[in-house]
Chain A
Amino acid sequence: MTAPAHGRRIISVKGHTMDNPIKTLQDKKSYLDLRKQERVTLLEVLDRALTKGVVISGDIVISVADVDLVYLGLKVLLSSVETMERLRGAPIVGPMQEPT
């Protein structure tokens, strides 16, 4: 697996995070970097597989996921805030407010 200097082979990034979860982590910072990397890659996958690719129309296909990426993104934000608030037992504040 090659990792070009300017980017990452997406396959290798996921390989790292899935196959060697904790072992390779030196400290908290690198763990956070890894989490960040994973999130970016998910965004890249969503930005392609959910909005692009061959789309078929007509009777033979049952369903094609049709969803707006922006809507999904907001959903992610909402649910993460909600979860954090619930964990702390605090009331839910504004949805866009950063959990502290």
Chain B
Amino acid sequence: MKELLYLYCVTKDKPSSCNFEDLGIKAHPIFFSGTYALVSWVSPDDFSEDNLKKHLADMGWVEKNIRLHEKVIEEIMKDQAVLPFKFGTVFENEANVEKLLKTNNIGFKAVLASLDGKEEWGLKIYCNSEYFKDALCAGNERITEIDKEITAAGKGKAYFLKKKKDEIIKDVINEKISEYTKDCFERLKVTAVDTRINKILPKEVTEKKEDMVLNAAFLINNKRIKEFENVLAYLKTKYTDKGLIFDCTGPWPPYNFCKRTHNG
């Protein structure tokens, strides 16, 4: 069967190197009017539509190939702004890749220009709300109030009041977490060119014992990275003993900031 073309990213300048020996990937650029698509030949055994679907259930295959996808793009973004494509974007021939560049010429150039000199940083905040229940609820009026009622109540009534207290604690924890994460997001947003709030990932996926409470992405001008770091350091100081755990990573290819409709 005929080999297929795998697309990694689109750039404005010709990538300085396309031969990634340590990754075992020999890529090449396809040019159209001020844009380059970086592609490499891949086997249909891996990337034909049917085979790709099958492989997506195989975590070993996904991990190996998605890391290659990421590493190639990370190499290119050392020199210039990149438009990273979604993992598994595959074409039949060069003419079709060229057609993509042609159809989206103005759009690609505009997005690349807007990404120039910017970095994507990711922030995931986790919270062990059970462990930090006491800290989160300390000094809360509603809880102090119901504690008084429980002390004053008889046995039967106290039982129901305690149930009610559990509900209040849940509410308070949720309110507090919203308040804290909103504060974190808003303060970091000031230093960013653009932001995204993404889906919270469940524990089955994160494999952490704490709950994810914020999953956000920030596009930062590389002249303002220090500012972003300073705000993050401030937030860590402010919220670590309130139960928040900060997981900040980057710089990433701007996966979160290249959304537009692109026509095939």
Contact = CB atoms under 8 A, between A and B. Distances in A.
Interface of A: 4-11, 14, 39-50, 52-65, 67, 69-70, 72-77, 79, 96
Which DSSP category, helix, strand, loop or mixed, fits chain B's interface? mixed
Contact of A52 (B86, B246, B260): B86
26 contacts: A6-B229, A6-B236, A7-B248, A43-B201, A46-B62, A47-B198, A48-B253, A48-B255, A49-B84, A50-B86, A54-B10, A54-B84, A56-B85, A56-B262, A58-B263, A59-B264, A60-B99, A62-B48, A63-B48, A63-B52, A63-B88, A64-B90, A70-B202, A72-B205, A74-B205, A79-B59
Contacts of B85: 53-56
Nearest to A19: B22
Given A10-B250, A46-B66, A70-B205, A54 B258 contact: yes
Interface residues of B, number: 64
Interface string B186-227: 000000000000100110111100000001000000000100
Given A55-B86, A63-B90, A40 B258 contact: no
Contact of A49 (B10, B70, B99, B202): B70
Interface of B: 4, 10, 47-49, 52-53, 56-57, 59, 62-63, 66-67, 69-71, 74, 83-92, 96-97, 99-100, 121-122, 198, 201-202, 204-207, 215, 225, 229, 232-233, 236, 246-253, 255-256, 258-264
Nearest to B99: A60
Give 7 nearest A-B pairs by CB, closest first. A58-B264, A65-B88, A73-B205, A52-B255, A53-B86, A60-B96, A48-B255
B258 A53 contact: yes
B4 A62 contact: yes
